[in-house]
Amino acid sequence: MQGQMDTPLAEVGRIQARLLAERLQGEDWDAIISSDLIRARETAQLIADITGSPFIGVDSRLRERAFGQLEGTTTEDRLLRWGENWRELDLGLESDEALLARWRSFLLDMERDHRGKRILIVSHGGYIAPVLASFLGQPIEEHLKNTSLTVIERVEESWHCRLLNCTSHLVKLEQEQGQSI
Is 129 strand, coil or helix?
helix
Dihedral in degrees, nearest 10, Cα atoms 167, 171, 176, 181: 20
Say if residue 39 carries a ligand binding annotation: yes
Whether 44 and 122 have beta carbons less than 8 Å apart is answered as yes
Distance, in Å, from the CA atom of 174 to the CA atom of 45, rounded to the nearest integer, reads: 23
Distance, in Å, from the CA atom of 7 to the CA atom of 49, rounded to the nearest integer, reads: 21
Angle at 35 between CA 33 and CA 37, to 5 degrees: 135
Binding residues: 39
Q: Which residues are annotated as a binding site for substrate?
A: 39
